[in-house]
Amino acid sequence: MTAPLFAPREHDVARVALPVPIDRLFDYAVPAALSASARPGCRVRVRLRRRLVSGVIVERGAGSDFRGRLAPIEQLIDPEPVLSPALLGVLREAAIECLCPIGLALAAALPAGSAPRSARGFQLTPRGQQALASAGLAEPARGLLARLARGPATAAALRREAAGPGGKLDDSLQDLLRDGLIAARQLERAPRAQAASERVASLAPGVTAEAALAGVRAPAQAALLARIARAGSLPVRELEREQPGAAARLRALAARGLLELGRRPAPRDVLGERGPAEPPPALTPEQSDAVKEIADAIRAQRCERFLLHGVTGSGKTEVYLHAIAEALAQGRQALVLVPEITLTHQILARLRGRFGDGLAVLHSGLSPGERLEQWQRLRAGATPIAVGARSALFAPLEKLGVIVIDEEHDGAYKNEEGFRYHARELAGRRAAAAACPLVLGSATPSLESRFAADRGRLRRLVLARRIGDRPLPAVTIVDLVRERELSPRGRRVVLSGALERALRETLAGGGQSILLLNRRGFSTQVFCFACGAAERCQHCDIALVYHATAQQLRCHYCDFQIPPPERCSQCGAPDTSLLGTGTERLEEELRARLPEARIARLDRDAAQQRGYTARVLRELRERRLDVLIGTQMVAKGHDFPGVQLVGVVLADVGLHLPDFRAAERTFQLLTQVAGRAGRDRAPGRVIVQTYAPGHPAIRPVRDHDYESFYAEELGQRAALGYPPFGRLVQAIVQSADAAAALAGAQALALAAAAPDGPEVLGPAPAPIARLRGKHRFQLLLKGADPERLHAAARRVVEATGQLPRGVQASVDAFPVNML
């Protein structure tokens, strides 16, 4: 079993990335037989310690610095590279930038579960064979040996096959191992992801239709042959459906050498509904200008980055479709990223309506097998368009003509686990490597992208008007402080008079309403019901979080602490309290007040149910719902013509999350949800309820005034050195033992510190201070010099290797969701 070892200097070497948390490449000898085919980008099976693992060849070279003797590549998985040199290059740079071990980054870019794997198993030894032959062996030992006499098996398989209790079985396996009757062994297993295929019949090679037909007399067989000869090859299942009994006849014909039976890929249909195949509308002048710029870059194969900044309903999607059509016309391919497929399936339907079935979709809602099928279709060049969530950025497209990122501001483009890349940032690299333009589209661009446009790193293309010059919906901001004064006994208000009236009017007129109820807020901010301010850190301008046990307000960035004030520090009013969202009350209140309305609710909890989201959205589109209540899920890029009213129950909730992007997210959310109203002929209106009508993230929503929000927010960011002026790196340390977690975070802070290094904030409790029984502490590095920041972050990553057992840390070089 032991593989021959090779002296490193003499050999052709492959440097392989393995899916282990060690940031280096591993050298293996390339057997002569594989010398030509084992290219960078191919996956291989190699031995790491005693296990067989799947990795990716990153480099080939002569000789190695490795001082031992090299193990050989055991098996070449892919005859052709699965990662192109361009994509491999992009991933290598990204892995460094994201502080991710290269092997984990490459594994994240390939379809999950598509590589062979191995598992611990057992085989019968000669002594076991003898023991089996002799009498006097008790169950379950006898049964186990008898099973292994038929071939090696994994423990899981043995457990599955044995009817008895599992615990006893394991003991008995241990006994057999100890007595040398069985031996442990690594067993190769099929990949978890399997592409579906179907059986097809075709004429055997060299057999002509005439020759085949001349050879058969039975009319049913002749009919089959004629049908197959005409079509080239046909699925057996289809033939059986047409002519019951066909399968048996096909086998008979194959046995006579007239037919050949084989298999071919039969990818399952995951594309969803198809939009109407209408001809493209004539573009508006704004749209044509944008399309012209992008199309020029596509034709010139120039990596130019565009920010398509268009108000909601201004026809951005139509611009994407034209850009894609141009790429296809140039014989190139297109990659389209959307934040979440379930919430943005309309774009998929429109793509399918325009381009037919020439698209592949990649997202986490598919089974591993389905994803593999889609990936294989792309790789085989069967479809020129890939659409998907963030991981589709790694789609195997070798002739990219354009990359589109819709709703580029969306936090879903950030991968929060393992390889913590930001798809928007990586898309820039991929576009550069492919020499194609990148189009970032949004009605509410991220501060980073809008700022990059100011600095000339992105070219901004503006769509200022809605299609058909439809007005943007009229936005009314309802001041809940006033509303409360007006309400009897100063009760906190869930539905203001204005919002309730508007709901009734819309219902009476046959229109639909969306009510946004953003529950992601904590009820842990001390909030002033007189002026709408929440207590904030003096140093970080981040909302302080109330810790009940310590009875302190704490900053989750720098750990500044104060006792909860008796009066609001902004306006002096005594009316401060924890911010409860009163959400449970909303649905109840709504049902009581509008008993005749058809009401549904959409949030993460409800969306756990498979198909629920799609069903509710379909009901809304088909006008079988009057009011949809939901979290930020309802704000995404839907286009529902019947929606005339959008109500925001409490706009303040998201403002007081301990995240420096809280204001940006709030403005984006409110503007996006407002954009859902009045997309058809009937004008839309929006009612925003808030305790802080003058807040810079809320006030500009009334006039759909992105630019004034941007200017003010940019000033805030500059004052505190937050992105886009500096960058943050976030480390989270967690442990079941709070003191150990804190000590670990302190050790990392020490590692980060350097005289000319970035500012080190914390350790402080992480915004989610406890998660699944673990105490969590956060450390932030803040700096304007990317190289020094990166160097400090690397020191932190190295220090994570020294943490004691039971303490885990993760480091994020581009934190987006800071909770």
- Which residue, 427 or 779, is less far from Zn ion as judged by CB? 779
User: Which position among 316, 420, 661, 774 is part of the footprint of ligand ADP (CB under 6 A)?
Assistant: 316
Residue 281 engages ligand ADP in binding (rule: CB under 6 A):
yes
Pairing of strands 182-189, 197-203: unpaired
Binding partner of residue 19 among Zn ion, ligand ADP, none, CB under 5 to 8 Å per kind?
Answer: none
> Quick one: residue 220, left, alpha or beta (phi over 0 = left, psi -120 to 50 = alpha)?
alpha
Confirm or reject binding of residue 349 to ligand ADP (CB under 6 A): no
Quote the CA–CA distance of 120 and 648 in Å, as a whole number. 55
From candidates 72, 121, 140, 315, binder to ligand ADP by CB under 6 A: 315
Q: For ligand ADP, how many residues bind (rule: CB under 6 A)? A: 15
Residue 462 near ligand ADP by CB under 6 A: no
Q: Check residue 313 for interaction with ligand ADP (CB under 6 A).
A: yes
Strand pairing of 400-405 and 438-442? parallel
Task: Between 315 and 767, name the residue whose CB sits nearer to ligand ADP.
Answer: 315
Q: Which is nearer to ligand ADP, 284 or 581 (CB)?
A: 284
Minimum CB distance to ligand ADP smaller for 521 or for 675: 675
Q: Of the two residues 221 and 284, which places its CB atom closer to ligand ADP in the complex? A: 284
> 787, 739 in Cβ contact below 8 A?
no
- Distance in Å, CB of 323 to ligand ADP, minimum: 12
Interaction partner, residue 537 (ligand ADP, Zn ion, none; CB < 5-8 Å by kind): Zn ion
- Burial of 398: CB neighbours in 10 Å, binned 0-12, 13-18, 19+: middle
Q: Which is closer to ligand ADP, CB of 185 or CB of 292?
A: 292
- Closest distance of CB 351 from ligand ADP, Å: 12
Contact region with ligand ADP (CB under 6 A), list: 143-151, 276-284, 297-305, 547-555: 276-284
What does the per-residue mask of binding to Zn ion show for 135-174, with x meaning CB under 5 A? ----------------------------------------
Asked if 557 interacts with Zn ion (CB under 5 A), we say yes
How far is it, in rounded angstroms, from Cα 531 to Cα 291? 46
539 binding Zn ion? (CB under 5 A): yes
**Residues 686 and 728 sit within 8 Å (Cβ to Cβ):** no
Interacting residues with ligand ADP between 282 and 301 (CB under 6 A)? 282-284, 287
- Compare residues 32 and 464 and give the one whose CB is closer to ligand ADP: 464
Nearer to ligand ADP, 254 or 283 (CB): 283
The answer to whether residues 386 and 378 touch, using CB atoms and an 8 Å cutoff, is yes
Going across the sheet that includes 197-203, the strands are 233-235, 197-203, 259-265
Taking CB under 6 A as the criterion, the residue among 114, 172, 314, 690 binding ligand ADP is 314
- From the CB of 714, what's the least distance to ligand ADP, in Å? 24
Rounded (5°) CA angle 720-724-728: 70
Residue 26 partner contact from Zn ion, ligand ADP, none using kind-dependent CB cut-offs of 5 to 8 Å: none
Listed residue (364, 350, 436) closest to 398, CA to CA:
436
359 near Zn ion (CB under 5 A): no
Q: Which does 583 bind (CB under 5 to 8 A by kind): Zn ion, ligand ADP, none?
A: none
CA distance 204 to 253: 10
136-145 LR contacts (CB < 8 Å, sep 24+): 139/164, 140/164, 140/168, 140/169, 140/172, 141/172, 141/175, 141/176, 141/181, 144/169, 144/172, 144/173, 144/176, 144/182, 145/176, 145/181, 145/182
Q: How far apart are CA 664 and CA 714, in angstroms?
A: 10
Cis peptide before 700 (omega within 30 of 0): no
* C-alpha triplet 740, 745, 750: angle, nearest 5°: 125
First to last CA, the chain: 50
Which of the listed partners (Zn ion, ligand ADP, none) does 539 bind, with a CB threshold of 5 to 8 Å by partner kind?
Answer: Zn ion
In angstroms, give the least distance from the CB of 308 to ligand ADP: 9
Q: Are 283 and 272 in contact (CB under 8 A)?
A: no
Judged by CB under 5 A, the residue of 295, 537, 545, 742 near Zn ion is: 537
Provide the CB-side half-sphere exposure for 47 (13 A, CA): 16
Q: Which does 558 bind (CB under 5 to 8 A by kind): Zn ion, ligand ADP, none?
A: Zn ion
Task: Give CA torsion, residues 706, 711, 714, 715, to 10 deg.
Answer: -150
Neighbouring-strand partners of residue 647: 515, 687
| C-alpha to C-alpha distances, 583 to 126, 496, 500, 515, 646, nearest whole angstrom | 69, 14, 16, 11, 17
Q: Which stretch binds ligand ADP (CB under 6 A): 22-30, 106-114, 306-314, 775-783?
A: 306-314
Residue closer to Zn ion by CB (options 385, 764) is: 764
Is 558 a binding residue for Zn ion by CB under 5 A? The answer is yes
Our CB check for Zn ion shows the closer of 511 and 815 to be: 815
Strand (E) or helix (H) holding 798: helix 786-800
Torsion angle, alpha carbons of 785, 788, 789, 791, to 10: 160
What character string, x for contact with ligand ADP (CB under 6 A) and - otherwise, covers 616-645?
-----------------------x------
Interface residue with Zn ion, options 560, 564, 621, 737 (CB under 5 A): 560
Residue in 467, 498, 573, 599 binding ligand ADP, rule: CB under 6 A: 467
**Partner from ligand ADP, Zn ion, none binding residue 560, C-beta < 5-8 Å depending on class:** Zn ion
Omega of the bond leading into 280 within 30 degrees of 0 (cis): no
Q: Find tokens 């006030």 and name the residue.
A: 699
Interface region with Zn ion, contact rule CB under 5 A, candidates 65-73, 457-465, 540-548, 668-676: 540-548
**Contact partner, 639, from ligand ADP, Zn ion, none, Cβ < 5-8 Å per class:** ligand ADP
Instruction: Write the interaction track for Zn ion spanning residues 658-677; mark x where CB under 5 A is met and - where it is not.
Output: --------------------
* Total of residues contacting Zn ion (CB under 5 A): 7
> Phi/psi of residue 434, each to 5°?
-90, -5
The closest alpha carbon to 341, from 418, 425, 273, 436, belongs to: 273
* Minimum gap (Å) between residue 281 Cβ and ligand ADP: 3
What does the alpha-carbon distance between residue 53 and residue 33 come to, in Å, rounded to a whole number?
A: 20
* Partner whose binding site includes residue 314, from Zn ion, ligand ADP, none (CB under 5 to 8 Å by kind): ligand ADP
317 contacts ligand ADP (rule: CB under 6 A): yes
Q: Which of 23, 97, 318, 664 binds ligand ADP (CB under 6 A)?
A: 318
CB neighbours of residue 164 within 10 Å: 12
Smallest Cα–Cα separation from 74: which of 39, 134, 30? 30
Kindly state whether residue 555 participates in binding Zn ion, applying the rule CB under 5 A: yes
Applying CB under 5 A, the residues found at the interface with Zn ion are 537, 539-540, 555, 557-558, 560
- Residues at the contact surface with ligand ADP, assessed by CB under 6 A: 281-284, 287, 310, 312-318, 467, 639
